[in-house]
Structure 1
Amino acid sequence: MVLFRRLLGDVLRDVRLQRGMTLREVSAEARVSLGYISEIERGQKEASSELLFSLCTALDVPLSDVLRDVSDAVALEEAASELAAVPAA
């Protein structure tokens, strides 16, 4: 099963690391607790649209880019699941 929140967390973590930012820096910039951001990145919590916007602003990345990357990751996981379900000939 594809979990949107896990893939979203992966994308947000990747963006944060690409920008060389710590959780503490994102937390301060987004005004969201460090622990909550960590839970989002690990796919343990769902991010509201307002929170997601704050995180994207703190990371200086367009929300549409994050959602596009998550959509691509969902498509890849769906394709992999379909391939795994095909019986071997």
Structure 2
Amino acid sequence: MVLFRRLLGDVLRAKRMQRGMTLREVSAEARVSLGYISEIERGQKEASSELLASLCAALDVPLSEILHDVSSLVALEETATLTTTSGPEVVASAA
């Protein structure tokens, strides 16, 4: 099962690191607790639309870019899941 919050966290962490920002810097800029941002990045908490907008502003990244990146990851995971679950069946013959 694809967890949107885990993939969102992965994308947010990657964007933060690309910009060379620490959790503390994002926390101060977004006015969100450092611990809460950490939980979002680890996929343990859901981000509200308001919180996501604050994080995007702090990271200077358009919301559409974040959502596009997450959408691409969701598509990749769905494809991988479909490939592994709908592969050819192997039937063992009883001897």
Give the TM-score category using the shorter length: over 0.9
Aligned positions, number: 89
Equivalents in 2 of 1:55, 1:34: separation in Å?
A: 11
Moved over 6 A (4+): none
Q: Distance in 2 between matches of 1:86 and 1:49?
A: 35
Q: How does 1:6-85 map to 2 (within 5 A)?
A: 6-85=6-85
* Residue 86 (structure 1) shift: 2.1
Percent identical pairs in the alignment equals 78
Give 1:67's aligned amino acid: L
Q: Which has the larger radius of gyration?
A: 2
Q: Distance in 1 between matches of 2:83 and 2:30?
A: 39
Residue 44 of structure 2 aligns with an amino acid whose one-letter code is Q
Q: State TM-score, norm by structure 2.
A: 0.91
Structure 1: where are the runs of 5+ without partners? none
Q: Secondary structure at the match of 2:12?
A: helix
Normalised by the length of structure 1, the TM-score is 0.97
